[in-house]
Amino acid sequence: MASERHYSPADRLLQQVDTVLRTLLPFSGPSTRPSPAVLEEETSLDEQSKRHIAGLMRINHTGEVCAQALYQGQALTAKLPHIREAMEQAADEEIDHLAWCEQRVRELGSRTSLLNPLFYGLSFGIGATAGLISDKVSLGFVAATEDQVVKHLDEHLAQIPREDAKSRAILEQMRTDEQLHSSNALAAGGYRFPAPIKFGMSLMAKVMTKSTYRI
């Protein structure tokens, strides 16, 4: 049986730099799965609808930037190897969402948020702090965060017109994946955060969504 590979601090630093670049640079994080949108026909949308949908997809793209940073920060400070590996695997899966959202934003004639570097840094710090506290708290933070993401996706699906099948297909697949990440985190021993903490997280999420809708 092959022995587990151990990475040096320098290796892990280079991996972190690579992840930052793949997350923040345009078109630098290719997906491993094809976008669900490729199976859907493009429909004609008026300019107002296109701007609104692009704003929603920009929010979701920034949410995936935050997820990348959160998982990477947690992987950096995780106590147990299998927790670190789980965080790194989840980060890899989120790259798909990142690429899908970016592609759709560009198709709608818009761009991703200029605030992404700021939110990446904040989320990385939160993830690293959670990992330093304990793996149980770190996993619980993943579950609570993914629950917030699912709520936002439901809100966006309610706003995106039925005729925009491409955007809807992306968000529906993201919703399925995020629910699975939340369930997996709790099943792995994640702490169930109480309602007041979840409410605070919701307020922080609203700051992100309001600011990245246009910027």
Binding residues for Fe cation: 64, 94, 97, 146, 178, 181
List the one residue out of 194, 57, 184, 63 whose CA is nearest residue 122: 63
186 vs 73: CA distance, rounded Å:
19
Binding-site annotation, residues: 64, 94, 97, 146, 178, 181
Determine what percent of the chain falls in helix, strand and coil, rounding each to the nearest 5.
75, 0, 25
Contacts of 158 (CB under 8 A, 6+ apart): none
Alpha carbon 28 to chain centroid distance? 16
At 25, is the secondary structure helix, strand, or coil?
coil
Retrieve residue 213's tokens: 């809708």
CB atoms near residue 195 (< 10 Å): 7
89 vs 33: CA distance, rounded Å:
14
Type of residue at 100: W
Within 13 A of 192's CA, how many CA atoms are on the CB side?
4
